[in-house]
Chains A and B, each alone.
Chain A
């Protein structure tokens, strides 16, 4: 299972630390380099959470602006990227709240009601299920499927499995405990599995593929 293990954390000083230090002293080029490094990731995270391209663009701009303004508050005891992701996640959840106006959106609300940990579909999948679809068909299947997850699960899955943050970094970015991240990740993965099964399952003998 080596291909889906989380990356080993490095003991060495991260190159971002120097860039942040320069940016703090007013070096705009250093900050621009940080923007270049993380703009795509921040945009993806915001889009995964909000499922809205316009919101994701606004959030990306606002997240970097806030990070720039608060650069002095960055302690350096977490990675700069984790800190930035945390800002973007907060902005994204705020956006969802605004969109729903009267209804609040929190990381917790969907956890109580959604029972996603009990598998029901036991149909075997094809060996290479994605080969049955074109790239654009597959992208649309994956989008539709992740869209159906409650925001709290979608967010954990995005950070862990799409953006490759470790469990600890995800917990930090979301302000959740490690057991909470693990249990949401399990339920998110199992719910996605259940939803993808109708596209990827092995056709039964005698049935058209």
Chain B
């Protein structure tokens, strides 16, 4: 496996859509190539940090206001 092969498989690898053989190949490649090992680890952490942290929180107040506005807009139109 070359570094280019490694990159081209990365999306499927993170999505669990690769064969066990390919997982082995990725493992072997990252044991030999420290650059790709760093890319694998830091890309995994990038995905994880966005999954684990709410980047934009919606406060309860705003949610209620937004909800009322949505309902008013939908049903006002439907009656017209």
Query: How many residues on the A side are at the interface (Cβ–Cβ under 8 A)?
Result: 54
Instruction: List residues of A (143-167) whose CB comes within 8 Å of B's CBs.
Output: 143, 146, 157, 161-162, 167
The residue from B14, B35, B47 contacting A122, defined by CB atoms under 8 A apart: B35
Give the CA-CA distance A48 to B78 in the complex, in Å.
Answer: 29
Q: A122-B39, A196-B49 are in contact. Are A4 and B77 (CB under 8 A)?
A: no
**Quick check: which of A10-18, A105-113, A123-131 contacts chain B, the rest being far away?**
A123-131
In the assembled complex, the Cα of A138 lies from the Cα of B53 at a distance in Å of 8
Specify the main secondary structure of chain B where it touches its partner: helix
Q: For window 37-86 of chain A, which residues contact chain B by CB distance below 8 Å? A: 39-40, 43-44, 47-48, 57, 60-62, 64-65, 68-69
* 8 new A-B contacts at CB < 8 Å, known A130-B52, A193-B43: A1-B16, A4-B51, A69-B77, A129-B45, A142-B49, A157-B50, A161-B50, A161-B51
Enumerate chain B interface residues (CB-CB to A < 8 A). Answer: 7, 10-16, 34-35, 38-39, 41-58, 63, 66-67, 69-71, 73-75, 77-78
The 9 closest A-B pairs by CB, nearest first: A5-B16, A68-B74, A193-B46, A186-B11, A122-B35, A125-B42, A64-B70, A142-B55, A122-B38
